Structure 1
Amino acid sequence: MNLVELLQIASSEEKAEGFLRERGVLKTFDSCPFCHAKNIGKIRRNFYKCYKCKKEWSVRKDSILEDLKIPFSKFILAVKLFILEVPAHKSHKELDLAYNTTHKIYTKLRQCIYKFVSKDDQLLSGEVEIDESYFGGKRKGSRGRGAKNKIPVFGILERNGKVKVEIVKDVSAETLLRETIKKVKRGSLIYTDKFKSYDGLVMYGFKHERIDKSVKFANGKVYINGIEGFWSYVKERLLKFHGVSKDNFIYYLKELEFRYNFMDNIDDSLYKCLGGIN
């Protein structure tokens, strides 16, 4: 959806509410969410009531908007600014909202993405590249693999398909093979570099080819340029946040996994996340 169409929808609360309801962000209750009776009705603009148990609920119930006291129109615009990668410290001025409110919206969006991505248990297959990378911390002591004070992240990329990433406790063979088995279909052809933790892939039913990057970066179809390109994509975008805490890093990481996988349909995909948060 382009900005002109979005601004038309955001021009009234009625249109904005309809837009969010169509996408499942706002739920439509056919029965009471408390006692499940069918005898319900709208009593005020944003409230419904059950005439059996006498309880009332807001149109925002069980949605990402339940504890966000902002107009629907501003929420829609905030989602668009998030999609466009406008940081919260800039978008709050465009939205005429407090920074803390805008930051809360962005945090909720990232949490929804995390839940959505975490539910994807479809195995990657075909030709697959795997690699690890390291994020955060200060560059003291050893560099590269085993760098101190950094968060190890394992990545798996299906060529012409999705990428999946996971924070791991270490890059031992046991850890990386376990993650590979969980995410890649047996019989797939896996490309790696010469890192020794990948030595056991064939024993677990995978085909395995390696590239020695100290000699060259590609040998025909044997390369890991795809997953390395993803690492560059992630690191470039993380720079603009000027530091992400370890506690929140997983949400930013999964956001970038999501953006990479759905870059051609990011708007609809994000609203799908928001409509399925429960």
Structure 2
Amino acid sequence: MDVVSLSTLASDREKTVSYLREKGLLVTYTRCPFCGSEHIGEVRREKYKCYQCRKEWSIRRGSIFEGMKLSWEKILWAMKLFEMEVTAHKAALQLRLSYEVTLRLYTLFRKAIWVHTQKEGKSLLEGEVEMDESYFGGKRKGKRGRGAAGKIPVFGILERGGKVQVEVVEQVSAEELVRLAVAKVKRGSLVYTDRFKSYDGLVSYGFRHKRIDHGKRFANGKVYINGIEGFWSYAKGRLLQHHGVSVERFPLYLKELEWRYNHREEDLFELLLDVLREYSQVADNR
């Protein structure tokens, strides 16, 4: 959704509520959620009442926005700013909200994306696939790359012409990397890696395997891992704007970047609405 269309929608409360109901983000009650009576009605703005059991509920009941006192206008604009990769700090200033409230919204969006990527990650990658690992963390003195202290190791798999999947790993051991390869890539696929020894066992698990020696060159015909290395550059560049991400929140940011990269040619605002609808359904089943 473009900015002009969003501005028109967000300025009309009734249209916004109808839009969110249409997208499945607000529950439409035809019966009382307490006693099941059909004798219900709107008694005040965004408040409903059952005339049998006399109980009331908010229009936000049963939604992921339950308990939030923000206007629909600000919630929609927060979604747009998130889509545009405006940081929570800058979004808080533009929305005239506290940083804590804005971060709460952004974290909700990222949790929904994380759940969605777990579902997407069940589809096996296949064909020509690149694998590599990278290390994320703040600027520190000392060793860089493999074996660097204080860094977060991340394993990535990219299907050429397809999607990327990335996971935080405790260590880049052969057991861990091969386990993820078997879980995420179809047997028989052609896997490209560098010469890191942790990839030695791929052939014995049914993969075809070719390596590039980065000590000599970065590509040898079709033997290269430039695709997954391009994702690492993309992810690290995007993370710099946040000026530091905690270890606890890092997986949420990482999966957000995976989602953005995989859907970079699509309307991310509309996709975010779909992701939030999925998340609300998961939350209802907990």
TM-score after normalising by structure 1? 0.93
User: 1:273 is aligned with what amino acid?
Assistant: V
- RMSD after superposition: 1.8
Task: Quote the residue 2:92 is aligned against.
Answer: 92
TM-superposition CA deviations, 1:122-159 (whole Å, max 9, x none): 11111111100001155344321111111100001111
The CA deviation at 1:55 is 4.2
In structure 1, the partner of 2:271 is 269
- SS of the equivalent of 1:219 reads coil
Which whole-Å CA distance do the structure 2 matches of 1:141 and 1:113 have between them? 34
Tell me the TM-score normalized by structure 2. 0.91
Q: Which whole-Å CA distance do the structure 2 matches of 1:262 and 1:78 have between them? A: 20
> What stretches of structure 2 of length at least 5 have no aligned partner?
none
Corresponding residue of 2:107 = 107
Separation (CA, whole Å) in 1 of partners of 2:241 and 2:124 = 32
**What does 1:99-248 align with in structure 2 at a 5 Å threshold?**
99-120=99-120, 121-137=122-138, 139-248=140-249
Displacement, 1:14?
A: 1.2
Do the aligned residues in 1 keep the contact of 2:156 with 2:166 (CA within 8 Å)?
A: yes
Q: Secondary structure at the match of 1:220?
A: coil
The structural deviation recorded for 1:225 is 0.3
Distance 1:55 1:146, change over 3 A: farther
Deviation digits for residues 185-229 of structure 1, max 9, x if unmatched? 111111111111111111111111111111111111111000000
**2:25 aligns to what SS in structure 1?**
coil
Aligned residue-pair number? 278
Distance 2:32 2:180 in 1: 43
- Give the stretch that moved more between structures: 128-137 or 88-97: 88-97
Amino acid at match of 2:67: D
Residue by residue, what CA displacement relative to the aligned partner does 1:9-29 show, whole Å, maximum 9, x if unpaired?
Answer: 011211211221121121223
Q: Residue 182 of structure 2: SS of its match in structure 1?
A: helix
Amino acid aligned to 2:194: D
CA contact (8 A) 2:155 2:177 kept: yes
Tell me which residue corresponds to 1:28.
Answer: 28
The answer to whether the 8 A contact 2:138-2:244 is kept is no
1:3 is matched with which residue?
3
Q: 1:79, CA displacement in angstroms? A: 0.5
1:276 shift after superposition = 1.3
Q: Distance in 2 between matches of 1:122 and 1:88?
A: 32
Alpha-carbon deviations, 1:56-102, whole Å to 9, x = none?
Answer: 33221232211221111111111101111111221222222222221
Given that 1:137 and 1:148 are in contact with CA atoms closer than 8 Å, whether structure 2 keeps it comes out as no
Distance verdict in 2 for CA 1:92–1:207, change over 3 Å? same
Specify every segment of 5 or more residues in structure 1 that has no aligned partner in the other structure, as ranges: none
User: Which letter maps to 2:205?
Assistant: Y
Give the C-alpha shift of residue 45 in structure 1: 2.7
Kindly provide the amino acid, as one letter, of the partner of residue 144 in structure 1.
Answer: G
Residue 244 of structure 1, CA deviation? 0.6
Q: Percent identity?
A: 58
